[in-house]
Amino acid sequence: MSLSARLDRLPMSRPHFALLLIGGLGYTFDGMDSAIVAFLMPSVREVFSLEATQLGMVGSASPFGFLFGALLAGYLGDKIGRKKVMMWALALYAVASLAAAVSWSFESFLTFRIIAGAGAGAESAIIAPFLAEFVPKHRRGWFIGALAGFFSFGFVAAALIGRFVVPEIDEGWRWAQVITFIPIVMLLWWRRALPESPRFLVSEGKHDEAERVVATFEDRVRRATGAELPPVDPNAAEEEAPTKFGFAKAVRYLWSRAMWRVTATTWLIWFVITFSYYGFFTWIPTLLVDKGIDVTTSFTYSLYIYLAQIPGYFSAAWLNEKLDRKFTIALYLVGSAGSAFFMSQAEDPVLVTIAGIMLSFFLNGTYAGVYAYTPEVFPTWLRATGVGMSSSFGRIGSISAPLIIGTFAAQWGFIGVFGLTTAVLAVGVVCTLLFAERTAGRSLEDITGAVAIRQAAKEAKRS
């Protein structure tokens, strides 16, 4: 009997929500790390006497580490296991954050921020594919969208730290990073509470261990619901056979005839949303100051903008099942493009803030769709690698965005910054509608199997 089908037929219950909380806390602190740099930049600029180019490097440091962390974590997640990578990633992020707090120079601060970004990137890339493999197919879109929604709590926490710690406490920028070290205590909980993914175990040929994990999870669901479990679908697709691979084989498969369109579309979506997201959130406090708002008030406005992430994520998580992931992504990209255009035309600080709130809502809603979509379109043996590489390619956008937007801000001002963002988002809308897969209500095995079958049919027609 298919272990995947047994997981897919389970009703959502307390064991699933426990996984949501565990993964969600990981994303909360990843979000905090991503957002905190925007509030550190004014202090770091003063402490280390940084020029504009060096400040841009600070903004790009974490995304640069994130790129390599996500890339490595995805590959290792498929080689040694999702759980191990998730735990080591958290440890790396937390220790590097503490080291950044005691930085003695610009160079040391930059180095530790890169390492912290690598840990956050590794964790971010592994959580969604890991937990997606436990969730029933009829609620997977909502679950992963809601999981990604925990990023918003991290951004709000960063905004609170930026408002009440950084400017109010002596050397507050250092204490802000000490706070981001705290999540290391979660390792004790994760080690006991998290099982390894049974789909990963099957892909490694460890059927007996996978059976024990599924049986234990079924028993927990049975006790949580107080009812007998639904029957297993006898027509459900079987798990994929174990596949041994190296990094070169993984890359070749991702760009093979069977997968190239899926890979290209997913990478492009990640680039579009990540470029727009990090370009906006890294520079928004600085841009608000340039509009004549003082630093403290700009941080307060930023808090309102960050709060808009919460309904953005969770509304999109709900729509993931109603509209399908691809249409949710396209809808929120359209909203993001419209908001960016509105912001490019706004002059009054209040209108700028309203536009920022709208842009925050839609950009983060897009992420709820993207995080749900990406693990679904790659096969189990390559799922974490596929997610990690997609996320890594997106990080090219996050690395380049602070630098490119800094250049646009210097040359063309506020209008240039958000005019560019509008154009990038419009490209994402078109590509998503034309090329993304429909995944709602389908098992992971059915989605990836259908991609391969469709491509085989196309090749047969050509021949």
Per-residue tokens: 317? 């998580």
Provide the pLDDT for residue 140. Answer: 95
Whether residue 290 is predicted with pLDDT greater than 90 in this model: the reply is no
- For the chain, what percent of residues have pLDDT higher than 70? 91
The stretch 343-355 carries a mean pLDDT of 79
The stretch 327-338 carries a mean pLDDT of 94
Cα 117 from chain centroid?
13
For the chain, the structural domain boundaries read: 3-227+246-462
pLDDT band of residue 367 (cuts 50, 70, 90) is very high
Whether residue 295 is predicted with pLDDT greater than 80 in this model: the reply is no
Range in 61-70, 204-213, 305-314, 406-415 the model is least confident about:
406-415
Provide the pLDDT for residue 299. Answer: 65
Give ∠ CA 220-385-152 in degrees, rounded to 5. Answer: 65
Provide the pLDDT for residue 233. Answer: 84
Provide the pLDDT for residue 298. Answer: 66
Pick the more confident residue, 395 or 371.
371
Kindly report, residue by residue over 185-213, the tens digit of the pLDDT.
Answer: 888 888 888 999 999 999 899 999 999 99
Superfamily of structural domain 3-227+246-462: MFS general substrate transporter like domains (1.20.1250.20)
Task: Name the average pLDDT for the chain.
Answer: 87
Provide the pLDDT for residue 86. Answer: 93
Provide the pLDDT for residue 288. Answer: 66
Provide the pLDDT for residue 327. Answer: 97
Q: How far apart are the first and last CA of the chain?
A: 37
The stretch 82-104 carries a mean pLDDT of 93
Whether residue 105 is predicted with pLDDT greater than 60 in this model: the reply is yes
Residue entry with tokens 């070290």: 181
Kindly report, residue by residue over 229-242, the tens digit of the pLDDT.
Answer: 999 988 877 777 77
Pick the more confident residue, 458 or 173.
173
The stretch 152-175 carries a mean pLDDT of 85
Range in 32-41, 148-157, 245-254 the model is least confident about:
32-41
The stretch 112-118 carries a mean pLDDT of 93
- From CA 210, how far away is CA 214, in angstroms rounded? 6
Whether residue 293 is predicted with pLDDT greater than 70 in this model: the reply is no
Residue 142: Cβ within 10 Å count:
22
Range in 13-22, 283-292, 445-454 the model is least confident about:
283-292
Pick the more confident residue, 97 or 289.
97
Provide the pLDDT for residue 76. Answer: 95
What's at 98, amino acid-wise? L
Whether residue 291 is predicted with pLDDT greater than 70 in this model: the reply is no
Provide the pLDDT for residue 455. Answer: 57
pLDDT band of residue 460 (cuts 50, 70, 90) is very low
